[in-house]
Chains A and B, each alone.
Chain A
């Protein structure tokens, strides 16, 4: 065994230097040079300050914005550091709900959200993504149906024609990659930025 220590030690340290230092640092330099905006986190600036990342969902609650999906992320309770409190779209602590298929808490939460949405837009089927939390709690997207479902509320809040809003949603739909991969979706932050821009014109 003793004769094995030198090769083990030298290879461990050398490969640590190569794969643990040189490789990530070289990649950071290269990625920053080729894709500077993406490597930094796809940040979106408005009037000189960062309003978010194109890839990270935000907690929209106002009636005048499109809402994202429910989020199960939490934060440390300011009153008691051993506990956590709900903090939707906390981008410094990603997490899903981890509620199982027979969880009573899940059934209750979904029913509550569902009733609120049904009251907001009666008679329309509620898209499932609007009442289920995402895996990360930071899902930036909703389905096109989920965006269209919210059009009447926003039209009322902003005193805009529903048709114009539907056109806006349609323009923001991203299809499947290469026509095959993933699912069609709408980025909520991009949609809301476009919504604000529409108001300005």
Chain B
């Protein structure tokens, strides 16, 4: 570990923190329907859209209608994306003559982008036409992120409102998230990324003759416009197979830094939107503090593990950390930091290959996802995921002192706790259930590229990533098969909608309740005690659920590696 590495990490945290308040203030205005500096341009477009769509912007929805709108919208989005992928050979903007995407891969990829997972069974430059990248993936990158933000905003309204049946309009929230938040930032961000060397062209792949006279075909494309939203919307699906490790998808140390900022910025700012909308910014800071503690701890462990290299490298006398799977321009610190950020958020972009991380360095990304990606988390998804844990934490605190639990003046009762537990439990069911299945059926066992405990980790990582809607991978796993494409897609669907729908049910139930005034017996939820309790609940629930699986994978691998043991396939 170097001083410079820590300075990079500290600088990153400082920049994200500095952006929380201004962006939080702006987004609050957007979702409470106030005028913003972009209104003169965007308001007429927005009104026109609503007129054609038959939407009355003032008409609010109950939680059921809100959820229904979201499901219908996502379902149609899935159909459109699936159709584009299947028909890409016959559609324009296909200079590399990519053929139609196979049915199981198209199903997996469409599910993956609609659920904001962006798992890459596809190979980017070897599979998709430019039209599929733009109209298919870039479009879903925007609207799946906007759906996540909308659900978080609906849940915030559930806490902020009293004695009402409605949570706002899904259509308005989703449209405004896209037009007022995501699109303007992406336009600026795209140009900044191109200035760093990221291609943005519709021209065909380039044939170069290298200095030694060999032919090199260089894949290019409309990369920057997709990467901007891929990061900002915590989507993470790469334009290229190697994702943000590819020099075209992440050309410089500065582009890397800005991409890391953009992964966290909306998720972090949403805690401030939460604080503002419930009328007490401290509530938002408390949640951000809990997230921040878990984040910094994860970064410290991963950076330490990667800087210390692996048994294999150190036995050969090599120093300088574990550079296998990492890019020279980022080095150890920026690669470790990126890995923790991308899995704490539900981004899943990678600037280094997690499969080649040290056992403990790879454990943290895995654990981040297993905890439900509540450390900043996906745009929207991170906040509502953490608020589910808040409900459980408040419930536990209530049990300890024998009072009806309250949060922000709302009584937390059986219905909320049941729904919260449903949202929490569907993740381990998908992650561990499918992992268990894949380790006993031949189609599952055919997947891993590495032998021994690392092969198990590859399977566990895949289902964890899918159910958590992350999308990063231990990339050695051969996942583009009927078995993996299908089971992973099911994991993604359950992980997305069996969390989102209970969240909206909680929101509806909370909005209908009265807000009680705070009394002397109210547990304050903006202080250190609450932050500690929340962190504890997240770690205990995650630890109890997932420790056995981690022990079978990264933990046993760590000790085997330290003892100098290696594993070979086919032996």
Contact = CB atoms under 8 A, between A and B. Distances in A.
B232 to A, nearest CB: 12
A4 B8 CA distance: 47
Contact of B320 (A50, A128, A181): A128
A161 to B, nearest CB: 22
B247 A138 contact: yes
A100 B51 CA distance: 55
Contacts of B183: 18-19, 23
Contacts of A160: none
Contact of A99 (B72, B324, B330): B324
Interface residues of A, number: 101
B519 interface: no
Given A19-B183, A39-B201, A40-B220, A101 B312 contact: yes
Interface residues of B, number: 134
Given A11-B175, A55-B248, A180-B8, A99 B355 contact: yes
Contacts of B449: 98-99
A12 B356 CA distance: 39
Contact of A135 (B4, B309, B316, B352): B352
Among A12, A61, A126, max chain B CB count under 10 A is at A12
Contacts of B252: 177, 182
Contacts of B222: 24, 27-28
B242 A96 contact: yes
A8 B569 CA distance: 49
B313 interface: yes
A184 to B, nearest CB: 9
Interface in B181-222: 183, 186-187, 190-191, 194-203, 205-212, 214, 216-220, 222
A171 interface: no
Interface string B146-180: 00000000000000000000000001001100110
A7 B171 contact: yes
Interface in A51-80: 51-62, 65, 69
Contacts of A107: 312, 316, 566
Interface string A83-119: 0000001111111111111111111001100100000
Interface stretch (A30-38, A151-159, A162-170): A30-38
B212 A102 contact: no
A150 interface: no
Given A18-B179, A107-B312, A183-B328, 16 more contacts: A5-B76, A8-B69, A19-B139, A20-B135, A28-B202, A31-B190, A31-B191, A38-B199, A40-B199, A52-B218, A93-B123, A99-B356, A101-B310, A101-B357, A110-B313, A183-B253
